[in-house]
Amino acid sequence: MRTIMLATVTAVVLGTFVAGTMLTGAEGDAQLANENPQIDYQGFMKQVQEVAKVREQRRVSEEGFIRMMDDPKTIVLDARSKRMYDLLHVKGAVHISLPDMTAEDLAELIPKKDTRVVIYCNNNFKNEPQAFAPKAPVASLNLNTYNTLYSYGYRNIYELKPLLDRHDTKIPFAGTSVENGK
């Protein structure tokens, strides 16, 4: 009797585990949604594919970046940490750290969703390891920043494309490093 009861409990537990982890399609999506409706990996993956089609056409040269940043209607956005931004950033760039991007914060910083926004990140500048420490290429901040802005309805997004030497670029900088003559 004890063996039969143990086998029944094991079958129920195993069946529940298998059913809970092996669901697919609408049933699996519903279960995943019930786990945390504020995290949508499938939606993220779909959006990444959508953004990929747009982003490649919106990557700009150093000269294009400078032209855009000189337009007073353009916002140059730095999404690195506040500490790195304070140390060194593109002159005139506004700051909002990627983890702090919410619909409310973005609406305050960029009220009109059709505003041209130009982004850059650590992986756009070399020979400045403290302020622009390179990230793994697949972890480049530009990728996440572009997708996040797109998630919140911003569509006029451009991205600095090349890897530039911090000391040779024509892009002007500001921050404590510049103030200290570095």
For residue 167, being part of any structural domain is answered with: yes
Instruction: Identify the pLDDT of residue 28.
Output: 59
Rounded to whole angstroms, the Cα distance separating 119 from 114 reads: 15
Helix (H) or strand (E) holding 8: helix 2-22
How confident is residue 23, by pLDDT bands cut at 50, 70 and 90?
very low
Higher pLDDT, 32 or 74: 74
CATH of residue 145's domain is 3.40.250.10
Report the pLDDT value the prediction gives residue 178, as an integer from 0 to 100. Answer: 87
Determine, yes or no, domain membership for 168: yes
**Look-up: residue for tokens 């079958």?**
11
Q: Which residues contact 31 (CB under 8 A, 6 or more apart)?
A: 20, 23
Residue 128 belongs to some domain of the structure: yes
Residue 7 lies in a domain: no
Mean pLDDT for all residues in the chain: 86
pLDDT of residue 158: 98
Residue 2 reports pLDDT greater than 50: no
Question: Tokens 């982003």 correspond to what residue?
Answer: 55
From the CB of residue 29, how many other CB atoms can be counted at a distance below 10 Å?
Answer: 13
Structure tokens at 151: 């998630």
- Of the pLDDT bands very low, low, confident and very high (cuts 50, 70, 90), residue 32 is low
Tell me: the pLDDT tens digits for 71-84?
Answer: 999 999 999 999 99
**Tally of domains in the chain:** 1
pLDDT of amino acid 116: 98
pLDDT over 90 at 181, yes or no: no
State the pLDDT at residue 109: 95
Asked if the structure places residue 1 within a domain, the reply is no
14: left (phi over 0), alpha (psi -120 to 50) or beta: alpha
Residue 101 covered by a domain: yes
Report whether pLDDT(18) > 90. Answer: no
Percent of the chain at pLDDT exceeding 90? 77
Residue 14 in domain: no
Which tens digit of pLDDT belongs to each residue from 46-102?
999 999 999 999 999 999 999 999 999 999 999 999 999 999 999 999 999 999 999
| Residue 105 pLDDT | 96
Q: What pTM, to 2 d.p., does this model score?
A: 0.79
| pLDDT for the residue 12 | 35
DSSP string, 9-65: HHHHHHHHHHHHHH--HHHHHHHHHHH-TT--HHHHHHHHHHHHHHHGGGEE-HHHH
Range of 142's domain? Answer: 54-179
Q: Which of 96, 94, 101, 166 is nearest to 134 (CA)?
A: 166
Report the distance separating Cα 155 and Cα 146, nearest Å.
9
- Evaluate whether residue 30 is within a structural domain: no
